[in-house]
Structure 1
Amino acid sequence: MGPVSRIALLGFCVVGIFSAYITQGVLQETLSTKKFGSDGKRFEHLPFLNFAQNVVCFFWSLLMILIWTKKTDHQAPLWMYWSASLTNSIGPACGIVALKYISYPAQVLVKSSKMIPVMLMGSIIYGVKYKLPEYICTFLVAGGVSTFALFKSKAKSIPKPNAPLGYSLCFINLAMDGFTNATQDSISAKFPKTTAWHIMLGMNLWGSIFSFLYLFAWNGGGGVEAVTFCKEHPDAAWEIVIFCLCGAVGQNFIFLTISKFGSLATTTITTTRKFMSILVSSVWSGSPLSAQQWMGVIMVFGGLSVQIYLKWQRMQKRTVKLRKL
């Protein structure tokens, strides 16, 4: 592939990731705050979004495997994904439910600070030593999140404002994501020929099972109520369908970017996308952030940008060493 073709493909991936996830973010915020129908009811059953997306992504990945991948016996068995899928079901569900208590920009900002628990776990449990620039990145991110949380914006009404509970749910989401990522890395290391589509299939299969059991196996799950709400409010059902399709399309573009350009390019794109999501949310909802909150946003993404640059430097040094060999 020539340089022009690579640039065109990268641009295509960037547009795909931005379009899918920014649209999904707007829909997620709408579903958590909007009043539907003539009765003015809110969609209270936000964990249902996680279940619906799991089901759509499962069938999407199955379709992609049947169309695009060759038959191979070197894939990780589906049962291995149960633990990662369990935390991947609990984590995002907590993140979605947090939108009842905090704003969408606040949720995105906290979820962007994944490096904080990673570094804490690495240094406390495994004795990993980090360099000064890495600690500076962490303090910038932590300071940015704290600054954002301390100041209020002119936000539109949140269903049940409760900042401590909302931020706590987001941090549970981060902790669960850390376990999910570590388990996925372990599976990939044991079965290096496992394709991204098979990982997506296994994760969403178990995710669908766990979410179904939580929502429909007992009276308090809210699954039946969510389905009833969608029947009575077709506009909400339509937004949920688009929300799920955005997630499936977004995962496609992320896998394509990783396979063609590597994880560093993917991290850069997704980090920029999160910043754009906050900007679009602020403009779209008519709920401008305060100057102090924008300072917090800039601190967080400044820290993340430095982290990306440090990763790029390490990759460059590794490339130089390999060339010398």
Structure 2
Amino acid sequence: MASAVAPIFGVLGSCMGCMVFVENIAKQEPSAMNLMTFSTFLFISTVGLVSTSKFFTVKNQIPLKGYFKTVTMFFIVNVVNNQALNFHVPVPLHIIFRSGSLLATLILSVVMVGKSYSARKYISVFAITIGIVICTLATSTQGDSGLSMEEASKHYKEWTIGIIMLTFALLASAVLAIYQQQMYEKYGKHPDEAMFITHLISLPFFLIMGSDIVSAATKLSASAPHSVFPWLPSLWVDLIASCLLQYGCIKYVYQLNSRVDSLTVTLVVTLRKFLSLIVSIVYFKNPFTPQHWLGAILVFAGTLAFADIWGSQTANKQDEKKKQ
């Protein structure tokens, strides 16, 4: 477990730090989400080209055809999740929604793979679903009193589109998890290679949004000078920081996955999401009502119950008694 300490703190620190910069960009220039996604993919691909592929001199353990379904779904999930922020979806709700991935995973695992689950897991998923619904309704009723009727109607329509996008991304992320599991079962686990290839092959897809990326880059260049690096626009500094931290977040998750069991990974990722939620509320002063807190508690408690931390701890104690 000692070897997992660094990855655990790496996941918590880098992922939470990344969300701060992502939310700052989303608040000041929401149209930059495609640019942010592209920049992250480009950075991870460049690092992987040097450190993992060594400029394509290292032979792939998984053939390129094995990545096709995974890469396609991976790209869609990342782009749709980030684009949802462009439709007035608050970051706290965005975090809570993405924490409900267990719901989509359970449903699609039953439908696509034919798995069966205990009653406790279905109850956990029900709690997660109710939590997301409560948070969504609480956000929809907040409104902006300073908007005209026409502006408020447009705002609500865009927000609804954002919620639909998050729902789609939630289901797509579950399909992605199934595709990744099937790929690893067939070819073996090669996380560094998979991390590099999935980001590299996704880069050509960004050509379809090239004009949007260029337009966003122009807007970021017009932002105010950074207080620490006055020769650089502030939003470009935020973008660079988000790329570095996002790389660290993904890298540490892969490392953690290779050193501890999936239960521990689930708990760390859940804790990271909860802490990111707290940071978003406190640092950016996002509105968070008692209804939001109730929904958030249901989502995170349901996630932990799904992972069965209490049952696993009891089982471990029983095992220790048997050994004695």
Work out whether the TM-score is over 0.5.
yes
Q: 1:16 matched to which residue of 2?
A: 10
Give the structure 1 partner of residue 271 of structure 2: 272
Deviation at 1:64, TM superposition (A): 3.0
User: C-alpha separation between the residues in 1 aligned to 2:72 and 2:60?
Assistant: 24
Report what 2:286 is aligned to. Answer: 287
Check 1:17–1:122 CA distance in 2 against 1; reply closer, same or farther (3 A cut). Answer: closer
C-alpha separation between the residues in 2 aligned to 1:214 and 1:113? 30
2:72 aligns with one of 66, 73, 86: 86
Q: Does the CA contact (< 8 Å) of 1:20 and 1:246 recur in 2? A: yes
1:306 aligns with 2:305: yes
Cα deviations by residue, 1:189-230 (Å, 9 ceiling, x for unpaired): 2211x521100111011121212x2222xxxx4122122223
SS in structure 2 opposite 1:87? helix
Whichever residue aligns with residue 199 of structure 1, its letter is A
Q: Does 1:168 align with 2:158?
A: no
- In structure 2, runs of 5+ residues without a counterpart are 147-151, 224-232
1:232 aligns with 2:222: yes
Letter in 2 for 1:229: K
Cα distance, 1:171 vs structure 2: 1.2
Whole-Å separation in 2 of the counterparts to 1:125 and 1:81: 19
Higher mean displacement: 282-291 or 228-237: 228-237
| Gap regions ≥5 residues in structure 1 | 1-5, 35-41
Q: Partner of 1:222 in structure 2?
A: 212
Matched, 1:26 2:12: no
Matched, 1:198 2:193: yes
Q: Is the 8 A contact 2:96 2:132 kept in 1?
A: yes
Is the CA contact (8 Å cut-off) linking 1:50 and 1:89 kept in structure 2?
no
Instruction: For 2:170 and 2:73, locate their aligned partners in 1 and report how far apart those are by CA, in whole Å.
Output: 10
* Match of residue 207, structure 1, among 202, 206, 212: 202
Task: Tell me the distance in 2 between the aligned counterparts of 1:311 and 1:257.
Answer: 21
Count, aligned residues? 299
Match of 1:76 in 2: 62
CA contact 1:109–1:297 (8 Å) conserved in 2: yes
Q: What displacement does 1:79 show?
A: 4.1
Deviations 1:262-309 (A, max 9, x none): 322111101111011111100011124101110100011000111122
Residues 36-91 of structure 1: per-residue CA shift (max 9 Å, x gap) = xxxxxx34131221111111111222333268xxx875600234323322221121
The root-mean-square deviation of aligned C-alpha atoms, in Å, is 3.0
CA contact (8 A) 1:154 1:287 kept: no
Q: Give, in whole Å, the separation in 2 of the partners of 1:314 and 1:118.
A: 24
Moved over 6 A (4+): 153-159
Deviations along 1:131-169, one digit per CA (max 9) or x if unpaired, are 110111011000101111111387999995543212111
CA distance in 1, matches of 2:31, 2:162: 15
Query: Mean alpha-carbon deviation: is it higher for 121-130 or for 135-144?
Result: 121-130
CA distance in 2 between counterparts of 1:256 and 1:62 reads: 18
Identity of aligned residues (%): 19
- Supply the AA of the counterpart residue of 1:188: Y
Measured in 2, the distance between the counterparts of 1:297 and 1:228 equals 37
Q: Secondary structure at the match of 1:244?
A: helix
Q: Which amino acid counterpart does residue 19 of structure 1 have in structure 2?
A: G
SS at match of 1:222: helix
